């Protein structure tokens, strides 16, 4: 994977202790990742690195908003994002992910690429159901025309009432009389 230069942390020259790095995670950042579902963003990323003699503790903090498409009306809206994740980096012989929070890198490495971690933590923080948050501002709510159109098509579908008016298929009557031994 190509690297984003500002997201390459040179930890070898750092003294033992806490170091803080700030990043703008905007449209340009997300365009770097092919197939990203985020194209517009206004996020601030902070990386707090605690350098120890034998490992690195990384705390990723992201705050801001990203533009997503509403699942209900398909219009874009701004979703607030807050991320706080820890990553522990140990030194070893080769690259290895021991778990979601623990990574081993070769002890010969002098830099750590953190762009992919920021990206993954942001993507994982996105809500499963993406709808407008609602509120007094028009941009906080679904498009009224889209909702009206959706309601129109939903009302054109046969409802349960219409299905109940149809006679039942007599082939299933014998199954209604079966009792299960519980």
pLDDT of residue 147: 74
Query: C-alpha distances in angstroms, 88 versus 9, 18, 21, 37, 158?
Result: 15, 14, 17, 27, 56
> Which parts of the chain fold into alpha helices (H)?
27-31, 115-125, 144-156, 160-165, 173-176
pLDDT of residue 182: 54
Q: How far apart are the first and last CA of the chain?
A: 58
pLDDT of residue 104: 94
Burial of 91 (0-12, 13-18, 19+ CB in 10 A): middle
Query: Mean pLDDT in runs of 10 for the chain (182 residues)?
Result: 76 92 94 91 96 94 94 89 96 91 92 94 93 76 77 66 63 74 58
Rounded to two decimals, the pTM is 0.77
pLDDT of residue 1: 45
pLDDT of residue 134: 77
């Amino acid at each position: 994977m190509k690297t984003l230069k500002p997201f390459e942390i040179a930890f070898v020259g750092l003294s033992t202790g806490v170091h803080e790095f700030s990043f703008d995670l905007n449209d340009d950042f997300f365009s770097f990742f092919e197939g990203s579902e985020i194209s517009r963003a206004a996020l601030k990323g902070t990386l707090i690195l605690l350098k120890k003699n034998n490992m690195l503790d990384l705390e990723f903090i992201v705050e801001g908003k990203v533009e997503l498409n509403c699942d209900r009306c398909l219009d874009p809206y701004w979703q607030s994002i807050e991320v706080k994740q820890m990553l522990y980096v140990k030194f070893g012989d080769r690259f290895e992910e021991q778990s979601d929070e623990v990574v081993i890198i070769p002890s010969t490495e002098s830099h750590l690429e953190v762009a992919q971690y920021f990206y993954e933590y942001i993507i994982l923080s996105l809500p499963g159901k993406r709808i407008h948050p609602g509120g007094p501002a028009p941009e906080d709510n679904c498009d009224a025309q889209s909702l009206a159109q959706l309601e129109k098509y939903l009302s054109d579908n046969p409802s349960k009432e219409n299905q109940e008016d149809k006679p039942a298929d007599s082939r299933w009557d014998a199954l209604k009389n079966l009792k299960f031994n519980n």
